[in-house]
């Protein structure tokens, strides 16, 4: 049974908002930069994420710029 308190080993990068997030915000920036010149599927495979996940972040970046790479920005409705 897990303890309700977080030990120092359980603390994660603050830019990753949940434990299953495959990329930090810096990882998402690297992903987008690499996908500028290379196929998304190839970059995704190298980074150990699915093509769908990579496409999601690249498309958010295309629509919202840097703000689209923030985990919380997924709920932002363009105005």
Q: What is the pLDDT of residues 32-77, one digit of tens each?
A: 999 999 999 999 999 999 999 999 999 999 999 999 998 764 555 5
Question: At a CB cut-off of 8 Å and minimum separation 6, what does 32 contact?
Answer: 57, 58, 61, 69
Range of the domain at 48: 25-68
Is the full-model pTM beyond 0.85? Answer: no
Task: Kindly state whether residue 4 falls inside one of the protein's structural domains.
Answer: no
Task: Kindly state whether residue 50 falls inside one of the protein's structural domains.
Answer: yes
As for how many domains the chain has, the answer is 1
Contact 47/53 with Cβ under 8 angstroms? no
Task: Kindly state whether residue 43 falls inside one of the protein's structural domains.
Answer: yes
Task: Kindly state whether residue 3 falls inside one of the protein's structural domains.
Answer: no
More confident residue, 4 or 29: 29
Task: Kindly state whether residue 73 falls inside one of the protein's structural domains.
Answer: no
More confident residue, 21 or 63: 63
Summarize pLDDT for 3-13 with one digit per residue, the tens. 444 444 444 44
């Amino acid at each position: 049974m897990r303890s309700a308190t977080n030990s120092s080993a359980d603390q994660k990068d603050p830019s990753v908002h949940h434990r299953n997030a495959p990329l930090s915000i810096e990882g998402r920036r690297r992903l987008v930069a690499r996908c500028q010149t290379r196929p998304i599927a190839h970059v995704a495979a190298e980074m150990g994420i699915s093509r769908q996940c990579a496409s999601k972040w690249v498309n958010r970046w295309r629509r919202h710029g840097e703000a689209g790479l923030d985990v919380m920005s997924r709920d932002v409705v363009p105005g």
